[in-house]
């Protein structure tokens, strides 16, 4: 669809309801859901489902429906992770084909969801109507990728093996015995680091709330989240273990204030992963900092863009998937790409607080980031890819020594939900990006030192707080087939600090000062 004909993508009038808790009635519903969960009930989180979904609220599922629920999403190898070496001349074409492959999966997932009951009764329909056509489209895209790379360098061998996809159950990790996840392990895309999250915990302490029903249903759009995606934060043991600071550590901090997206800048693009492709993310992002960011923003456009940052020397762009209440309310994007068309529905929440802090290295000094350095932390496809690159942490105010990676927290009354992203803190010293958008940066090892060939840079730590009702009534936007799982949360950053302010940041951190 031409951009001129689409729903406005960059602004809207914020609703005051996003700045305070929902009504008493909604809070009561959320509390009731929490009680159901606490009792061990295997109830999908569809307590806010709208009447238009057309699912009976009381009738028990039939045997055929239960069979269908064992297969809940489409699992495909992530070709983007596998393409470690792509000549610069081919990157534009390759990025467009990778974005097209994401759209192919999205379309196939819609068909699968629409025909789920039929597939439960005729499993062959999945192959004939969904997986087979998807495989053919992916094969054609992979062939075009290979041709594009081959024009400028060596054609990648065996790339066609990434065409296959499978159906899998949403309560089984890829490749687990007994699961349906038949797609090959596509690798973690980040060999240079340890995949850690700088002390934000491994997050998988969720004894919590029962086994879940594995059906991928629940949520306002019917594709998640579900009850087993939530855990009472008070049931989680403290798990934060930060590396010990050694002599010579850079102990300072630099904080930049860029607001909370009060002006409501959203779009479903991702200029890092899918430059030049509208709706490349298939989910909405919050943007703070640079206001020129969309799929078509070049470095020059970003350099000249307006910024919400208080210090105008910071024109960096900071973005992440929006968080929505599953309260039955429609958002302005209910009929738009990235919103309702991609099964992301519910009321978008403006954070109550956003902190952007750059910190140092526990073992030595940091060096300046290059301008236009791009960093993605976390993995938007971690539910199907596995957790090797998952890096967002979830917690609650007052409990931030307890961090979750693959669960949403249920916070007690008076406590707010917290998302934390600790970005990669080592850089290869040469590249501002890489073919898979990961291998030019890395996490420090457990001892705080960077991998060989990498140097320490200021580490961006984002802390995003939401004042939402207690209970399991929220979710982040995701690709439709990722079922709004918390492990798919991720953050994106492009450094557009001017040279003078970057020098000030580095000097503050290395001198052990706290600067703003």
Q: What is the pLDDT of residue 420?
A: 98
Summarize pLDDT for 357-375 with one digit per residue, the tens. Answer: 999 999 999 999 999 999 9
Q: Can you tell me the distance from the alpha carbon of 319 to that of 479, in angstroms, rounded to the nearest whole number?
A: 16
Please report the beta strands in 330-412, taking only residues with DSSP state E, as ranges in sequence order.
347-348, 353-359, 374-378, 392-396, 408-410
Element (H, E) at 253: strand 253-256
C-alpha 47: how far from chain center: 24
- Provide the edge-to-edge strand list for the sheet that holds 426-427: 441-442, 426-427, 455-456
- Give the pLDDT of residue 242: 77
Residue 394 sits at φ, ψ, to 5 deg, of -120, 140
What pLDDT, on a 0 to 100 scale, did the predictor assign at position 150? 95
In a domain, 403, yes or no: yes
| Residue 167, domain member (yes or no) | no
Q: Is 97 inside a domain boundary?
A: no
Q: List strand residue ranges (DSSP E) for 277-407, in order.
A: 285-289, 317-321, 323-325, 347-348, 353-359, 374-378, 392-396
Instruction: State which residues form the domain around 311.
Output: 8-48+188-516
Structural tokens at position 475: 């979710």
Q: Is residue 426 part of a domain?
A: yes
**Would you state the pLDDT for residue 18?**
40
Is residue 124 in a domain?
no
The confidence score (pLDDT) of residue 86 equals 94
Question: Is the peptide bond between 225 and the residue preceding it cis, with omega within 30 degrees of 0?
Answer: yes
Which ranges of the chain have pLDDT less than 70?
1-71, 170-217
pLDDT for 170: 58
134 part of a folded domain: no
Query: How many domains does the structure of the chain reveal?
Result: 1
Q: Confirm whether 466 is domain-assigned.
A: yes
Classify residue 448 by its DSSP letter: S
Judge contact between 277 and 373, C-beta under 8 A: no
**What pLDDT score was predicted for residue 231?**
97
The answer to the question of residue 149 being in a domain is no
């Amino acid at each position: 669809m031409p951009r001129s004909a689409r729903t406005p993508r960059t602004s809207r009038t914020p609703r005051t309801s996003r700045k305070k808790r929902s009504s008493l009635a909604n809070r009561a519903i959320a509390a009731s859901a929490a009680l159901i969960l606490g009792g061990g009930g295997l109830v999908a989180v569809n307590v806010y489902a709208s009447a238009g979904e057309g699912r009976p609220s009381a009738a028990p599922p039939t045997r055929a429906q239960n069979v269908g629920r064992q297969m809940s999403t489409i699992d495909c190898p992530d070709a983007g992770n596998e393409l470690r070496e792509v000549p610069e001349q081919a990157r534009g074409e390759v990025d467009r084909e990778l974005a097209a492959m994401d759209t192919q999966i999205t379309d196939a997932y819609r068909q699968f969801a629409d025909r789920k009951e039929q597939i439960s009764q005729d499993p062959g329909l999945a192959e004939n109507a969904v997986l087979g056509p998807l495989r053919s489209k992916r094969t054609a895209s992979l062939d075009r990728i290979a041709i594009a790379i081959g024009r400028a360098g060596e054609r990648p061998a065996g790339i066609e093996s990434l065409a296959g996809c499978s159906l899998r159950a949403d309560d089984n990790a890829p490749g687990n015995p007994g699961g349906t996840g038949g797609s090959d392990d596509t690798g973690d895309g980040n060999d240079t680091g340890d995949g850690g999250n700088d002390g934000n915990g491994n997050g998988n302490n969720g004894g919590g709330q029962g086994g879940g029903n594995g059906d991928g249903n629940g949520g306002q759009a019917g594709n998640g989240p579900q009850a087993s995606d939530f855990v009472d934060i008070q049931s989680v043991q403290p798990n934060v273990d930060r590396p010990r600071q050694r002599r010579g550590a850079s102990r300072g901090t630099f904080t930049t204030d860029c607001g909370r997206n009060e002006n409501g800048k959203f779009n479903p693009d991702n200029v890092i992963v899918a430059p030049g492709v509208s709706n490349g993310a298939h989910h909405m992002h919050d943007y703070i900092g640079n206001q020129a960011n969309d799929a078509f923003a070049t470095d020059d456009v970003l350099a000249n863009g307006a910024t919400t940052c208080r210090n105008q020397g910071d024109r960096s762009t900071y973005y992440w998937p929006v968080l929505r209440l599953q309260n039955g309310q429609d958002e302005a994007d209910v009929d738009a790409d990235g919103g309702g068309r991609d099964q992301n529905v519910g009321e978008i929440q403006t954070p109550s607080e956003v902190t952007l802090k750059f910190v140092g290295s526990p073992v030595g000094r940091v060096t300046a980031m290059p301008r236009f350095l791009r960093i993605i932390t976390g993995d938007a496809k971690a539910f199907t890819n596995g957790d090797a690159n998952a890096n967002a942490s979830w917690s609650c105010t007052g409990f931030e020594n307890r961090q979750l990676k693959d669960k949403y927290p249920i916070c007690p009354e008076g406590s707010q939900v917290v998302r934390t992203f600790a970005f990669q803190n080592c850089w290869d010293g040469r590249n501002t990006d890489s073919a898979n958008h990961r291998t030019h940066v890395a996490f420090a090892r457990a001892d705080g030192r960077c991998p060989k060939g990498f140097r320490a840079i200021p580490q961006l730590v984002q802390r995003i707080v939401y004042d939402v009702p207690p209970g399991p009534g929220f979710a982040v936007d995701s690709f439709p087939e990722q079922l709004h799982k918390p492990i798919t949360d991720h953050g994106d950053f492009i450094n557009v600090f001017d040279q003078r302010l970057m020098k000030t940041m580095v000097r503050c951190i290395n001198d052990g000062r706290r600067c703003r």
